[in-house]
Amino acid sequence: MFENVAGLPLDLPHPARQALIAAGIDWHDERVAEAHVTHALMLAPEALATRIGAYKFYFYRHRLQEALPHAFSVLEMAAKRLQLPHDWRQIQPHHGAFGEIEPWPRLFLQALIAYGYCLARLGRLDEGRAALVKATELDGGDKLGAGRLIAIIDRGGLDDEDD
């Protein structure tokens, strides 16, 4: 499960990996599952897989305030790996192969979209929209769908089905 995410090398020590696996096994008990996620973060706070696992745990539990820093951490890790400007607002399409299906640029875009989505859902609409707009600028064909999320924000949070 954590050996390879879309071709990305994962730097996860075995005990942290076991803690994340245990979180999945104990998913039905939120308190116990969260303890496993917290343990994994304690064991390997700088590991990409730990941050992705923590983001997914909090995101799927609808705990977006807690998911947000993990999305941002993944965003920073991907930016560092790609040698992108530190501030995502300064990144331009020519800085990376964002239109390709390369793992690291794709992870950067996914993390930027996750970050923007969490911000928007937390009521920080301008910040969230800005991150999503940047994602659409970088993802020329909007393959990852940030444009749809921007449209929802622009409609006041109403999805197409809500019209």
Whether residue 77 is predicted with pLDDT greater than 50 in this model: the reply is yes
Average pLDDT, the chain: 90
User: Would you state the pLDDT for residue 55?
Assistant: 97
Predicted confidence band at 4 (pLDDT cuts at 50, 70, 90)? very low
Residue 68, token pair as written in the block = 């947000």
Residue 12: the pLDDT is 85
- Examine the pLDDT at 6 and tell me if it is beyond 70: no
The C-alpha atoms of residue 41 and residue 19 are separated, in whole angstroms, by 9
